[in-house]
């Protein structure tokens, strides 16, 4: 039984404006609880609900609203006209590799003279690399289109400019005050960019450039939509809000992934054993890890080769490599997590700390970020996992929700050679002899700045319902709220004063198969890793439960069940 599952959690029940809920209920004529969930997500009118449940591609913003779009399109069309060599350059993660695959396939379609380049995670690091620019110079490329990177690469783009290489930057990361000297910078987060939707991923910004190019070249209006399934994969994997334009793109991208998928997605679905309809969580948990594993364990170029493969056989060839990389990644992730947990157990004084910093020189650099997230599942606190990289210690940090990790690491800068990141995740490099000093300083900073409640996991509950509310019609509308993701998560419900029917049991030593009754309604449910709390059910007392609703298919028959998140003895008993 893992420590993670036995942790006490804070339950936070959301509230909604009941006048808005009642008005929406009158116009939609659906269960008031569903209206409450919608209102809490900003969907408080019939018109907004219609746009939410029936997202239309015609509602997408014009690409020409993005600053510098005209300059980017003009430069690419000129390059194609003069047969210049174009290099499509992207990051090694899902967002970067899908963006490169989309742009490369589109430019191939219009007879551009081109190649693509993915930097090696360890030899070159994140973003534009000097090695990449030197590759462009040595091979006669005069235009580079960077995707999902470049906004912070001022010095390198200046270097490229000196070599006669132009850059078009497509990025979605926050720009610095001084921008790189590119021919065009497409990034809705620029302060003076009038583009109305600011939350596109890198692949999304590239898609907007493809849309503008297709329009300017008088191609069919639906030409860019060929890449929607790759774009949906990027939206899912890059953890951007699934709202507004991203929701429209993800909705239609999922439809394409199910009806007419890219050969790479088809191959990965096959290897992942996905026989059923693809949902957004399949893209997050089945497709994305295999693409990311290529960059973590080896070279991400093969992820692009898989996505641009002309045949299913060719795609499967590369997909099998990615699948193998992911198997290696999982093994490294599992063994390092076990070693790290043992290290914490050995150093008993660390267990009462408000931060975790672990280091072993032999750990694989490609999985330290994943391991940091795993450790938070067990010891819920800001966590840094370090390994040896050449002559230095390097690693990744992950935060708990609500705590600004970047600020905490910035406060430890005297012990670091370099660092970067954002609110929830960061990376850093330091001298090997600084590891212990960094551990102590990081603990000091976190202890002084983290509010105690942030060290207790929080469950956000959308609404309180009764078991008799859970009907097929209720569930069908919930399903129509997909695709789920940040700012539109799968709804979480609470039911009060529920009794164990007497048939609940522990399965496989650590999970609970629930059988619960409220009034005359009985539901089954599954609670993974909850066996340590099984004694609460045996007390014969009412319990309050928190859960998601999903579907269980057994022998061809589908029934609704509860996917349990937490439970405790009823408070108003």
* Closest-CA residue to 3 (of 573, 394, 499, 457): 457
Task: Determine which of 36-40, 61-65, 174-178, 334-338 has the lowest per-residue pLDDT on average.
Answer: 174-178
The CA distances from residue 407 to 191, 398, 425, 457, in Å, are 23, 13, 11, 21
As a whole-number percent, the residues of the chain with pLDDT over 90 amount to 82
Q: What is the CATH number of domain 59-324?
A: 3.90.1640.30
pLDDT of residue 112: 79
Residue range(s) of every CATH 3.90.1640.30 domain in the chain: 59-324
Mean pLDDT of the chain: 93
- What is the Cα–Cα distance from 212 to 170, expressed in whole angstroms? 13
Q: What is the pLDDT of residues 107-152, one digit of tens each?
A: 999 987 999 999 988 788 778 999 999 999 999 999 999 999 999 8
- pLDDT average, residue stretch 344-367: 92
Reference 416, options 398, 397, 402; nearest CA is 397
Residue 4 pLDDT exceeds 50: no
CA neighbor of 380 nearest in space, from 446, 314, 465: 446
Q: Is the pLDDT of residue 244 over 50?
A: yes
As a residue count, the chain comes to 573
CATH class of 347-455: alpha beta
**pLDDT tens across 486-497, in order?**
999 999 999 999
Q: Where are the CATH 2.40.50.460 domain residues in the chain?
A: 3-14+459-569
Query: Quick one: average pLDDT of 357-383?
Result: 94
Residue 213 pLDDT greater than 80, yes or no: yes
At residue 573, the pLDDT reads 52
Could you give the percent of the chain with pLDDT greater than 70? 98
Query: Both ends of the chain: CA-CA distance in Å?
Result: 29
Residue 3 has pLDDT above 50, yes or no: no
* Across 347-373, average pLDDT: 93
Q: 3-14+459-569 sits in which CATH class?
A: mainly beta
Handedness of CA 92, 148, 41, 25 (dihedral sign): negative
* Cβ pair 319, 304 in contact under 8 A: no
Distance CA 484, CA 471 (A): 20
Asked if residue 318 lies in contact with residue 293, where contact means CB atoms within 8 angstroms, the answer is no
pLDDT tens per residue, range 42-52: 999 999 999 99
- Span of 90-94, 273-277, 406-410 with lowest mean pLDDT: 273-277
Cα 349 from Cα 320, distance rounded (Å):
44
Q: Residue 174's pLDDT is what? A: 87
Q: How confident is the model at residue 420 (pLDDT cuts 50, 70, 90)?
A: confident
- Please say if the pLDDT value at position 240 is more than 70: yes
Rounded Cα distance, 252 and 260, in Å: 11
- Give the separation between CA 56 and CA 302, rounded to whole angstroms: 33
Q: What is the mean pLDDT of residues 427-437?
A: 95
φ, ψ for residue 70 (rounded to 5)?
A: -60, -40
According to the model, what pLDDT value does residue 1 have?
30
What is the DSSP code (8-state) at residue 139?
A: T
- pLDDT bucket at 401, cuts 50 / 70 / 90: very high
Query: Which of 128-142, 413-427, 457-471 shows the lowest per-residue confidence on average (mean pLDDT)?
Result: 413-427
């Amino acid at each position: 039984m893992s420590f993670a599952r036995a942790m006490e959690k804070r339950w936070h029940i959301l509230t909604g404006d009941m006048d808005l809920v009642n008005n929406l209920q009158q116009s939609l004529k659906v269960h008031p609880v569903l209206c409450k969930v919608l209102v809490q997500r900003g969907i408080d009118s019939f018109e907004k609900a219609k746009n939410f449940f029936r997202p239309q591609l015609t509602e997408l913003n014009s690409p020409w609203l993005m600053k510098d779009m005209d300059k980017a399109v003009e430069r690419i069309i000129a390059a194609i006209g003069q047969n210049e060599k174009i290099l499509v350059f992207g990051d090694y993660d899902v967002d970067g590799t899908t963006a490169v695959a989309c742009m490369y396939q589109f430019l191939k379609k219009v007879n551009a003279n081109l190649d693509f380049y993915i930097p090696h995670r360890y030899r070159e690091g994140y973003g534009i690399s000097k090695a990449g620019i030197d590759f462009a110079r040595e091979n006669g490329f005069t235009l580079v289109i960077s995707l999902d990177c470049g906004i912070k690469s001022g010095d390198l783009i200046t270097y490229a400019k000196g070599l006669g290489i132009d850059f078009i930057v497509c990025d979605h990361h926050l720009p610095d005050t001084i921008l790189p000297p590119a021919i065009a910078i497409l990034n809705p987060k620029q302060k003076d960019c009038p583009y109305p939707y600011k939350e596109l991923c890198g692949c999304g910004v590239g898609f907007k450039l493809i849309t503008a190019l297709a329009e300017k070249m008088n191609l069919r209006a639906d030409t860019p939509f060929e890449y929607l399934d790759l774009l949906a994969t990027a939206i899912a994997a890059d953890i951007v809000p699934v709202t507004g334009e991203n929701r429209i793109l993800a909705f239609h991208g999922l439809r394409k992934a199910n009806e007419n998928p890219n050969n790479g997605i088809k191959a990965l679905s096959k290897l992942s054993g996905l026989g059923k309809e693809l949902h957004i969580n399949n893209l997050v948990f089945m497709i994305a890890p295999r693409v990311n594993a290529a960059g973590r364990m080896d070279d991400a170029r093969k992820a692009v080769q898989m996505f641009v493969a002309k045949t299913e056989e060719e795609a499967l060839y590369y997909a099998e490599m990615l699948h193998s990389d992911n198997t290696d990644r999982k093994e490294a992730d599992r063994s390092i997590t076990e070693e790290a947990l043992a290290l914490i157990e050995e150093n008993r004084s660390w267990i009462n700390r408000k931060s975790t910093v672990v280091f072993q020189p032999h750990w694989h650099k490609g999985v330290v970020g994943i391991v940091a997230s795993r450790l938070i599942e067990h010891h819920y606190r800001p966590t840094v996992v370090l390994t040896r990289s050449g002559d230095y210690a390097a690693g990744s940090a992950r935060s708990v929700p609500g705590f600004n990790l970047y600020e905490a690491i910035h406060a430890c800068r005297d012990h670091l050679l370099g660092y970067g990141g954002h609110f929830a995740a960061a990376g850093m490099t330091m001298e090997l002899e600084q590891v212990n000093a960094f551990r102590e300083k990081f603990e000091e900073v976190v202890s002084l700045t983290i509010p105690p409640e942030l060290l207790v996991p929080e469950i956000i509950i959308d609404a309180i319902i009764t078991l008799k509310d859970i009907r097929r019609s209720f569930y069908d509308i919930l399903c129509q709220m997909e695709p789920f993701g940040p700012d539109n998560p799968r709804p979480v419900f609470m039911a009060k004063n529920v009794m164990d029917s007497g048939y609940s049991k522990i399965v496989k030593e650590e999970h609970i198969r629930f059988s619960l009754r409220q009034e005359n309604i009985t539901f089954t449910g599954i609670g993974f890793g909850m066996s340590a709390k099984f004694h609460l059910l045996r007390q014969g007392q009412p319990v309050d439960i928190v859960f998601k609703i999903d579907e269980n298919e057994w022998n061809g028959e589908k029934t609704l069940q509860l996917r349990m998140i937490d439970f405790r003895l009823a408070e108003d008993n």
